[in-house]
């Protein structure tokens, strides 16, 4: 039988195995953590690219205190239940959708209007904006 050294602890293991029995779970956990770090990096990078394409007027609005207070109050008012109920709905509302988009003149005037806001889950929000 051919043997080789475990890359972590240097014990002799059969050729063909990546790690010894003791090091395998540790190496798997490290690999999973590295994948999560890479995924988080990609998410942040994508968000930065997406935000660079957006009008600063809207970014400023979405970061404003009045919007944060209004959107959280709307979510709490419906007890975080998704109001859209589109196919694939998760049921837990985590975002607030503007029924009339704020990119229009009428929508901008209604940006904080309670009746123009719809609490939705991420899946339904993407569906409302056709972002699948």
Q: pLDDT of 37-59, one tens digit each?
A: 999 999 888 888 877 777 889 98
Are 46 and 38 in contact by the 8 Å Cβ rule? The answer is no
Residue (of 74, 78, 82, 84) closest to 111 by Cα position: 74
Tokens of 66: 């009045």
| Mean pLDDT, residues 110-127 taken together | 94
Chain-centroid distance, C-alpha 64 = 20
Tokens representing 22? 């003791």
pLDDT on residue 109? 96
Q: Which two tokens stand for residue 47?
A: 């968000």
Task: Give the bridge partners for 120, in sequence order.
Answer: 95
pLDDT at 111: 95
Q: Is residue 129 predicted with pLDDT exceeding 90?
A: no
* Exposed / middle / buried, residue 82 (Cβ in 10 Å: 0-12, 13-18, 19+): buried
Q: Strand, helix or coil at 86?
A: coil
Report which secondary-structure segment, H or E, holds 36: helix 24-53
pTM: 0.61
Q: Give tens-digit pLDDT for 61-72.
A: 999 999 999 999
pLDDT at position 131 is 64
């Amino acid at each position: 039988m051919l043997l080789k050294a475990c890359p972590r602890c240097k014990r002799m293991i059969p050729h063909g195995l990546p790690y010894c029995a003791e090091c395998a779970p540790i190496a798997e956990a490290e690999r999973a953590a590295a994948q999560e770090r890479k995924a988080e990096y990609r998410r942040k990078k994508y968000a930065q690219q997406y935000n660079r394409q957006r009008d600063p007027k809207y970014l400023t609005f979405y970061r404003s205190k009045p919007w944060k207070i209004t959107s959280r109050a709307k979510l709490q008012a419906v007890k975080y239940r998704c109001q859209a109920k589109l196919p694939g709905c998760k049921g837990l509302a985590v975002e607030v959708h503007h029924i009339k988009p704020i990119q229009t003149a009428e929508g901008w005037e209604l940006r904080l209007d309670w009746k123009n806001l719809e609490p939705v889950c991420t899946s339904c929000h993407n569906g409302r904006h056709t972002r699948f």
